[in-house]
Amino acid sequence: MTDVDHFKRYNDVNGHPAGDQCLINVAQTLTSCAKRPTDFIGRFGGGEFIVVLPDTEHAGACKVANKIRQDILQRKMPYEANSLEYVSLTLGVVTVRGSHIKSIQQLTKEADKALYYGKSQGRNCVIGISLNEPEECHPVPEYMKCA
């Protein structure tokens, strides 16, 4: 799950047509980073998108997420005219083996939690969690910054 950091601010300062273009740029970046025929990208709402990377280990998912984050920064979309602060993304990565998937809601809920943990850590980062071990091994979710 990914969210454009401070998207409301971007819209308020630059107008909704510019906000729409920002979302198009994000979608293009997601598409360029998630290239396999089985990968799926969709808009989740507002400035949020979801990226599904089937058959991808945790390290690989974090690598793709970091590439997405870096590629958005390289587009250098300023929040305001003459600003050196550029649009960034916060991403929540959840990996789980198919046999451990309880529901799609479980996955989106965990991805959203990781995303908002990243927001609380200062934004412009990738936070991940692997759900491949039984809950009794880790009763409290362990969110980690993906390097």
Give the whole-angstrom CA distance, residue 27 versus residue 41: 8
Q: What one-character DSSP code corresponds to residue 86?
A: B
User: pTM for the full model?
Assistant: 0.90
Terminal alpha carbon distance of the chain: 17
pLDDT tens by residue, 97-135: 877 777 889 889 999 999 999 999 999 999 999 887 655
Q: What is the pLDDT of residue 53?
A: 95
Give the domain ranges of the chain: 2-145
Structural class in CATH, domain 2-145 = alpha beta
Q: Mean pLDDT check: name the lowest of 24-28, 43-47, 52-56, 101-105.
A: 101-105
pLDDT averaged over the chain? 90
Q: What is the pLDDT of residue 132?
A: 76
